[in-house]
Structure 1
């Protein structure tokens, strides 16, 4: 909503500057998006009349003019404008005037002829970006009066950024009403008296869709002079409201729309055949609009028609066939209340945007429908002449406005301030709300122009706006704050992320959906959860694993020439017909173990590097790994991850087939674990630090290829051999000296006591126990 400050102050003139007024409007919920001057600063420019124009004696393109500026003697001014003529009224910058750009007017000699001022164009005064010749003023412009005063150039333009619920402020009456409520002061509300009807002639009106058009008013006005000039005051207000002048009749309709918020439309009466009907369009009907656009209508679009053809797209734009032109003498004025739902979205569907549809979509005041028609008729008769007929009015079921109960105690509870019934009464009166008081309760009747007031909280918000949000003190919270206990056995996701970052990984975030082919290839999931309305064909199914997103992020990095990539992600995965959801933690590693450096030879990351990262994440809990195939992994290079005997995830090297398919040239090692298992941590137990040196013994055994290292470690750990503090594999051998289908495994055994130095007999007893359980498990001691 754009409007002139001068126009607003003719309605209400608060004791506030322009910027103060903008501030209070913004703080009351009517955001002032822009505040700008109508014209740039200039001084000593007056209205002048050209008395004489003669050709310059030595310059063909210059004229010497005698100009009346309201003084006893005329001024001689040299002018180069092609449109200068005797009798025209123009702006004249007198000697000493300062024009935009700090251009000072001085007495000058132009080609040997003295010039005592300057006749100005609109561009030179900063009133237009381009202009052809002098700025021509109306014939009745008073000579000698300052141009800024005559054209009201010391005016400011306000642009409000209104929320959709405040359609009542899409008019000068609405904004003035708000200013009166917010800033106080006397409101000079417009008083519209019914126009005396000189004609008995009417047009029959029929509403076929009373649910869409609840009220329709129209009247004939004959003998108007559409060619008459629109008054300058009206043109200024229209232009400063963002509308251009078309002709007097259309300008009056637009002016009343800006003034009262009710869109109107004027039809050329000579182009109407029979009565007026408001109905829905028939599918395929065509209408040529005022903007020159031919539209094909759909059966949910509201139209106004006569007995033979369509006249207008109701509430949006009229048709060109029945438009008012300068030769039009008889018109039919329309003012109607169309339900917002019947208008909303139709203009956008036809790629049209109009001030009328903008208002009807948000809701207009149905109590002003007839008043706006009377106001437009009044202006039409004053400016264009003519005789008005009686109003044809058809009623439907107008919106019902039910009283809202406002409780004084509830106001205090919501706003946190104490307002007694007397203060609330004053505030409701400032808002011009009708109400009845019963004890400490108010029964408020929402006005017809406030469609957004439906609940008690809406009225409380209105009270807050008028009190002023900045006048409501901030109250400290009245509650007891306690530290939330956090179990020592639970780790946060942020802590896990920090641990990964410390191990040289970087976090990535991907969509929770991807291609169905990714699910099939990497997860062997042929029945993924499919989205009904995917944002793209590449994001059509919900993910059951984080691996697809990580590979996508890896490919993005490789496309940008990154040679070493280590990524991790936390997110939800979705599986099953019941859409079960689980949180996972996953990562992958690509490239070299370490960043490129001179001190260590480059070595590609492998399965055991990532295995070490996983073990570090779960520490101090001990993990076990069970070699099993996975659809995403290289055969023989994947394993389940087990925690306390429960499967919690997978680790593996990406299958060569997928490396080739996704254009990845080196090994990719990935893992994925259940987040809940990762977040649960074992509490470390304190052991006494021994003063005595540990003893090392090595055990080398030969076993079948099918025997896993983990199974041997498990039986040794379960043997309860005394003094054993550590067991670890340090060598693996296949080849000469070891039979076919066999492998040699060498384990490091550390023994220690906290009380004394171990003697050989104690050591040998523990080693014998370990050897015994290994042999029971099929292992042969290698000498």
Structure 2
């Protein structure tokens, strides 16, 4: 929010200096982002009028001007501005004036005397426009000090407002906070109703229910649309960051900045009664003030008239922007003023869908006082009639009172206030602060009963009032108090691995942690074929962040791709975060997941060994090092995930339950993602990996172990996991360890088969195993392998 300091001081009287005012605003939560001082040194700068302008005899781009500065005799001024012309009223720096670092002196320019300098807005420090002389209204008093005429010195102050302080998107709203902080009062404001001088009106109908509970309009006939915006108004607009356009438009902008109520002015002669406010129809089009024609859907609200049938034509996009065909122009004679209350949920995100950001939409998204529309209409009517003439008709108001929010009284307890703040604030000070902020306050036995004004819809509970007292009383006035009581220590559970340990383990294995948005592009999910159950956002930050992620890998691999595109050939990333899935009728399901991705060399450049590319087993080792933190044993089974490479990816299981996936990305997916290198990755549910069994001490067997090595020939399609399950089940409890030490294909083994050589380590806790015991176990294994997998002992 940007505004003029002098304008604010008109609404609240305070003796605070500019610096003190800025410090006060920041201290009460209205952070001052910048202050631009205006017209601080304009002594001897006056309003002047050019009487004649002749070409300089020695310079094509200079003119010799005769200027009336109110001194009696005209002054001769040499000027190079392209807009210098007879009849122009502009600022003149007299001899002796200080303009920036330049002191104006009488001088000869190319042999012609010049007794002063005609100035641009930039030279005076009033604007960035240096294209020509600052053009003043033709009726500006010649000879008057420019500072006095323009209301200078002044300052343009810009605030950084938090979203909950929508009431401060107006000069008068800020004035209430300043009055409370400075011990002053907000000055009275004249919003006396203007009497109707004719009976012309446009009927208004509300067909949008609670989304638009109030709409106020008024016809003003016989307006001079060519009237010049008064200099005091145009200067306040400029200093608030708004460039004046035309008087009728400037009035609506001025009222919005002063009161906080967005308005719109229609050319009444282009409208057909009745005016209807309704939801837009799917595919409906509207041509807006900026000349664009937009297509909207049922989420938008439109203001329509009855040209071509009742409610047939959209003449404005509700709460965002007016229409092109019904705009006011210099030819406008009859004006229809509109001020409505649009609830935030009906406006939020609508402008962003169309690539629009307007002052009106910005305010309505955050909330506007529902009682302001009629007041704004009256103020705007008075300004128009005073400057542009005209005959106002009666005010037309359509209202749905059952949908207008009414502030409820809030109890503020004295002891609760003292307990939260850690200090006591005098009762008189509490009452003063609340009343200065515009609340109706009633003293009760144990504190106060305060009813907020309709503009402070952010106040709803007792804590809100405590916050108001704290910020206005001053955070620096609240003593620093150490918390009392003993701190309860918690002991980490032995059955749970800390996430920090997982991060440290992966960092130790040369991974870097990535943090990605939980929002993602729906098209990217489609490439991964992971769009099922995706949760669409109703108000996304951008089109590329339109849905919640269903997996971590799409975002993580995108980060890896960005690194590859920047000449990083070896990339290893991991991420811990949540994925989201739609759940019909319920909030989205959230799952904490762990993902990793790697490409490039397995170990980086080394002088002592030949490099090799990272492969499946490297990532498998990294993953199992994480699982080892919880003492977990992982199983791997062939995967059918769409994004995985056939034959180079696996589903990961713990205790027979699938917890994730590991492998190489499918070549098709890598092409779609423009990845030049093979990428290997894994993603798992994290919680199953964090569950740790408590170790139990057990005595080592004092009896010797026995090892038997077996080599089975099995079909290529039989996995080691299936073989290991069969061997363990057949050997029974005596099998303490099973080791695969060789896999062979080649001479002596027929095509389509492989040889798996394994070591069986057998041991009993209560006795020494005999040869008969061992041979029996081996025989059971051989029989089970033949029965389950058609395996035979390799000769």
Normalized against structure 1, the TM-score is what? Answer: 0.71
Q: Which residue of 1 aligns with 2:454?
A: 448
SS of 2:448's partner is strand
Query: In the alignment, is the contact (CA less than 8 A) between 2:203 and 2:396 conserved in 1?
Result: no
Query: For 2:260 and 2:479, how far apart are their aligned partners in 1?
Result: 36
- Cα drift, residue 5 of structure 1: 0.9
Deviates more, 1:662-671 or 1:460-469: 662-671
Q: Which residue of 2 aligns with 1:24?
A: 24
Query: For 2:599 and 2:489, how far apart are their aligned partners in 1?
Result: 42
Query: In the alignment, is the contact (CA less than 8 A) between 1:712 and 1:774 conserved in 2?
Result: no
What CA deviation, in whole Å up to 9, does each residue of 1:435-493 have, x standing for no partner? 32331243323223333333333333333332234433444333422332235565434
Q: Go from structure 1 to structure 2 and tell me whether the alpha carbon gap of 1:627 and 1:411 turns closer, same or farther (over 3 Å shift).
A: closer
- Cα drift, residue 156 of structure 1: 0.9
Task: Spell out the pairing of 1:160-559 with structure 2 (5 A cutoff).
Answer: 160-195=159-194, 199=197, 201-209=198-206, 211=209, 212-214=212-214, 216=216, 218=218, 220-222=220-222, 224-266=223-265, 271=269, 277-280=275-278, 290-293=289-292, 300-303=301-304, 312-313=315-316, 324-326=328-330, 331-332=334-335, 334=337, 336-340=339-343, 344=347, 354-360=358-364, 362-386=366-390, 388=391, 391-394=394-397, 396-398=399-401, 399=404, 401-408=406-413, 409-419=415-425, 421-487=427-493, 491-499=497-505, 501-502=507-508, 530-531=533-534, 533=536
Query: For 1:216 and 1:575, how far apart are their aligned partners in 2?
Result: 44
Query: For 2:619 and 2:10, how far apart are their aligned partners in 1?
Result: 78
Q: Go from structure 1 to structure 2 and tell me whether the alpha carbon gap of 1:123 and 1:717 turns closer, same or farther (over 3 Å shift).
A: same
Unpaired runs of 5+ residues, structure 1, are 521-527, 689-695, 751-765
Query: For 1:321 and 1:138, how far apart are their aligned partners in 2?
Result: 30
Query: In the alignment, is the contact (CA less than 8 A) between 2:597 and 2:679 conserved in 1?
Result: no
Deviates more, 1:5-14 or 1:110-119: 110-119
Q: Go from structure 1 to structure 2 and tell me whether the alpha carbon gap of 1:109 and 1:586 turns closer, same or farther (over 3 Å shift).
A: closer
Q: Go from structure 1 to structure 2 and tell me whether the alpha carbon gap of 1:292 and 1:687 turns closer, same or farther (over 3 Å shift).
A: closer
Q: Which residue of 2 aligns with 1:12?
A: 12
Q: Go from structure 1 to structure 2 and tell me whether the alpha carbon gap of 1:611 and 1:634 turns closer, same or farther (over 3 Å shift).
A: same
SS of 2:206's partner is coil
Q: Go from structure 1 to structure 2 and tell me whether the alpha carbon gap of 1:411 and 1:599 turns closer, same or farther (over 3 Å shift).
A: same
What CA deviation, in whole Å up to 9, does each residue of 1:222-267 have, x standing for no partner? 5x54444332222212332344444444444443343333445555
What CA deviation, in whole Å up to 9, does each residue of 1:726-756 have, x standing for no partner? 9999999999999x99999899999xxxxxx
Deviates more, 1:449-458 or 1:79-88: 79-88
SS of 2:459's partner is coil
What CA deviation, in whole Å up to 9, does each residue of 1:617-669 have, x standing for no partner? 777999999998777999999999999xx6688999979x9789979999989
Query: For 2:372 and 2:710, how far apart are their aligned partners in 1?
Result: 100
SS of 1:410's partner is helix
Query: For 1:561 and 1:243, how far apart are their aligned partners in 2?
Result: 46
Query: For 2:724 and 2:744, how far apart are their aligned partners in 1?
Result: 13
- Cα drift, residue 576 of structure 1: 15
Q: Go from structure 1 to structure 2 and tell me whether the alpha carbon gap of 1:554 and 1:778 turns closer, same or farther (over 3 Å shift).
A: farther
Query: In the alignment, is the contact (CA less than 8 A) between 2:40 and 2:154 conserved in 1?
Result: no
Query: For 1:193 and 1:699, how far apart are their aligned partners in 2?
Result: 103
Q: How many residues were matched structurally?
A: 733
- Is 1:148 matched up with 2:156? no
Q: Go from structure 1 to structure 2 and tell me whether the alpha carbon gap of 1:775 and 1:497 turns closer, same or farther (over 3 Å shift).
A: farther
Q: Could you say what the CA RMSD is over the residues aligned between the two structures, in angstroms?
A: 6.1
Query: In the alignment, is the contact (CA less than 8 A) between 1:311 and 1:318 conserved in 2?
Result: no
Normalized against structure 2, the TM-score is what? Answer: 0.70
Query: In the alignment, is the contact (CA less than 8 A) between 2:412 and 2:448 conserved in 1?
Result: yes
Query: In the alignment, is the contact (CA less than 8 A) between 1:508 and 1:550 conserved in 2?
Result: yes
- Cα drift, residue 203 of structure 1: 2.4
Query: For 1:667 and 1:342, how far apart are their aligned partners in 2?
Result: 44
Question: Highest Rg: 1 or 2?
Answer: 1
- Cα drift, residue 99 of structure 1: 3.1
- Cα drift, residue 21 of structure 1: 2.0
Query: In the alignment, is the contact (CA less than 8 A) between 2:89 and 2:140 conserved in 1?
Result: yes
SS of 1:91's partner is strand
SS of 1:218's partner is strand
Unpaired runs of 5+ residues, structure 2, are 538-542, 715-719, 783-795
Q: Go from structure 1 to structure 2 and tell me whether the alpha carbon gap of 1:308 and 1:107 turns closer, same or farther (over 3 Å shift).
A: same
Query: For 2:686 and 2:163, how far apart are their aligned partners in 1?
Result: 47
Query: For 1:194 and 1:744, how far apart are their aligned partners in 2?
Result: 99
Query: For 2:59 and 2:746, how far apart are their aligned partners in 1?
Result: 113
Query: In the alignment, is the contact (CA less than 8 A) between 2:219 and 2:392 conserved in 1?
Result: yes
Q: Go from structure 1 to structure 2 and tell me whether the alpha carbon gap of 1:496 and 1:241 turns closer, same or farther (over 3 Å shift).
A: closer
